[in-house]
Amino acid sequence: MVLSVLLLSLSARAQETDQVNVMLTLPNYNQIYVADLDLKHVQSTGVLFTAQLQSLASTPIQVKLRLTVNVTLANGSSYPDIADVTTNPFWLQPAQMKVITNVDLSGENPPLSVETSHYNTDQVNELKNVALATGKAPAGIYEFVLQCTDVNNISISQPARGTIVVTNPSQIDLALPIDQGSITTLFPHFQWSSNVDTVVLSVYE
């Protein structure tokens, strides 16, 4: 009984400290670039994440947005907190819904300026070595974690999490019949090779 009351009390306190509701949406990409993880300096105009922030407070509040990126590669290598970005404070009005994307954080005069930015260059260099000359991020799971804090960096929201599963599919190569080869049967056998598990094939006459 005492334990139940304690758990309810802790839950109520956690809800009281939540002043912002954070929702995170990620695109259905199967490939991204290693440089995209440098959220402050990336020049790409592509949307990597979309955050929706809604104030739960009854008065205007100043908040910061913190984003961290964790990477787990298909080969088992793990890179926690490979990127960690916190914005400068901005105001949220009562019940206001504010939409923020990664594009808002980069460029010469971004709409939302960055207060601190940590980009683990050692881990990124390891990713680049795996990616070789393509610049594309290696296959694996890229987790994005968003959370709002107050001006003293104390959390005022539950973390919102989302993942991008990178597969980096390559093109499908026709193995049979041989290119420019002749076909002498009414029912030819076609064979393709690819390094992905599932493909969609369309055949036209």
Whole domain around residue 139: which residue ranges?
A: 2-166
pLDDT digit string, tens, across residues 60-70: 999 999 999 99
Longest Cα separation, the chain: 83
Q: Are residues 52 and 97 in contact, defined by beta-carbon separation less than 8 angstroms?
A: yes
Confidence tier at 132 by pLDDT (50, 70, 90): low
Give the residue carrying structure tokens 């964790």: 70
pLDDT digit string (tens) for 21-45? 999 999 988 888 888 887 776 656 6
Structural domains counted in the chain: 1
* 131 domain-assigned: yes
Question: Tokens for 57?
Answer: 């407070």
14 in any annotated domain = yes
pTM above 0.85, yes or no: no
Looking at residue 42, its pLDDT comes to 62
DSSP 56-109: --SS-EEEEEEEEEEEEETTS-EEEEEEEEEEPPEEE-TT-EEEEEGGGG-SSS
DSSP SS3 for 13: helix
